[in-house]
Structure 1
């Protein structure tokens, strides 16, 4: 089986602390994983960034490179955005690319890169009128959105349990993208 490149992009939501296990499972499934984070997620994981880079064999990224700098990652065969926060989902759907991972996935839609996304939001965020519009926009753009039955189901504010985040559904979704 040939190795394919997976960009795993994570926002700052509590399930991000399990990302090393997710990387290992993706690698066991034949993916060469490149880890990208939002700046806040990078701050949350700052003590483990070197270990995560060693695990993937590539630098962990969270910011745009300077024009003219070579890209340190190979081209992605697929992208998984999980956990995706309210901010990440809405910024992506609206095309607001001030965050590097949002810029990559916004461009990925245009490039035809297979993308799966699973949010991590509570029901108070979901009640905001922009969120369902953003979910629909991303689905209409061809993103495999894992939201609702079979994916992420919103929790009560302050009551989320990161251990119940359905990482298995996200990993199954990228297997289907292959």
Structure 2
């Protein structure tokens, strides 16, 4: 079974993470859920349900050096939604957050990693953001941003079609099984 580390940061689409886990499991992936500390607080009352759903502890903090690893090794990582802060921390190698530390290390371990930002157009106009996206791409990270990925909306605006989770899951599936034919997920709800 392919192990997917599904990581999320504190943007509204993280509230839909249970449906994303179920979709990933339908494709045969063993899902381990990691959250930034703020995303974990947002989902605090749902963490036991998410642990039952994945069969693994939900992690948002580094383990102590004396503690064993509780997750299997990752075959692929998906970081979505990835906030402005998370993208910038990652590209700069600032790893005080567990999720950012794992994806930063994944570059050196050559673990295939997909990221899909979730930022509004005001954040997207900040020059550091585009530099960070370009830096991550140059490091081998698949960043789904712009045409064919996440396109920023206006501050405070929600899209009627929602966050394009299907694009992120399709990108992961392409990495995991590049030659397999897969049904389009564009119409699947999360």
The alpha carbon displacement at 1:177 in A equals 1.1
Structure 1 runs of 4+ aligned residues shifted over 2 Å read 160-163
TM-score by length of 2: 0.91
Provide the rounded CA distance (Å) in 1 between the counterparts of 2:65 and 2:158. 40
Q: Which of 106, 109, 119 is 2:104 aligned to?
A: 106
The alpha carbon displacement at 1:68 in A equals 1.7
Provide the rounded CA distance (Å) in 2 between the counterparts of 1:115 and 1:176. 12
Aligned equivalent of 1:174: 172
Aligned equivalent of 2:153: 155
Q: Give the secondary-structure state (helix, strand or coil) at the position aligned to 2:52.
A: helix
Range moving further from structure 2, 153-162 or 6-15: 153-162
The alpha carbon displacement at 1:160 in A equals 2.6
Provide the rounded CA distance (Å) in 1 between the counterparts of 2:63 and 2:13. 27
Unpaired segments of 5 or more residues in structure 1? none
Unpaired segments of 5 or more residues in structure 2? 177-190
Listed as ranges, the matches of 1:90-101 within 5 Å are 90-101=88-99
Provide the rounded CA distance (Å) in 1 between the counterparts of 2:98 and 2:84. 16
Provide the rounded CA distance (Å) in 2 between the counterparts of 1:116 and 1:107. 14
Count of paired positions: 176
TM-score by length of 1: 0.97
